Amino acid sequence: MNRVYLRPLQLADATQIQLATENDEIRRLTSTTEHFTVDAIEAFILRAASDDSRMDFAICLHDDTLIGEISLLDIDEQNKRGGMRMMLHDLSFANQGYGTEALQLFVRYVFEDIALNRLELEVLPYNPRAQRVYEKVGFTMEGIAREATYFNGQFIDEVHMSMLKSDYMKLYL
């Protein structure tokens, strides 16, 4: 049995999301430069809920504790592809398998329910923990986009990874 479940983001999540975005290490791992108010996050949740090109989910423990977010982005129905991002709100939840379990639920939803063929992401090279989680679930590194992100006064490479429906089928069905 999974220890986590996914549900749509709710306005009530805004305060915790705002606190997570102020954590210096999370900001570094996600290259977040902006500071957000709770009101701005609430407005984002409302906008995102009506945007057909994305789906945003809360990662929750079975006692309903919100521990992170996972999003399907840039849904391209014609080409059956989309992007994704995932963030745990507190690093005390890292290294316990929660991210892996959430990602496994997410890829099942993407490939079985949404019926996409390709899921892609970018991860920063100084976040090897996230890279290991993505690889463990079945993502493959496709390459490095050199100096693709500007953060804290410097350009940083991005590691590009993807998972195909055929990869998912081999691993999980």
Over residues 67-84, the mean pLDDT reads 98
2: pLDDT confidence band, cut at 50, 70 and 90? confident
Over residues 112-127, the mean pLDDT reads 98
Over residues 68-81, the mean pLDDT reads 98
CA distance from start to end of the chain: 17
In angstroms, what CA-CA distances link 99 with 5, 64, 104, 122, 168?
Answer: 11, 16, 9, 16, 17
pLDDT of residue 130: 96
Closest by CA position to 29, among listed 163, 147, 167, 131: 131
Q: Are strands 118-123 and 55-61 parallel, antiparallel or unpaired?
A: unpaired
- Model confidence at 20: pLDDT above 90: yes
Instruction: Judge contact between 2 and 105, C-beta under 8 A.
Output: yes
Percent of the chain at pLDDT above 90? Answer: 98
Note the pLDDT tens digit of each residue in 48-60. Answer: 999 999 999 999 9
Q: What CATH superfamily classification does 4-172 receive?
A: Gcn5-related N-acetyltransferase (GNAT) (3.40.630.30)
- Model confidence at 15: pLDDT above 80: yes
- Model confidence at 1: pLDDT above 80: no
Q: Supply the mean pLDDT for the chain.
A: 97
Over residues 5-18, the mean pLDDT reads 98
Q: How many CA atoms lie within 13 A of 73 on its CB side?
A: 10
Q: How far apart are CA 38 and CA 42, in angstroms?
A: 6
pLDDT of residue 42: 98
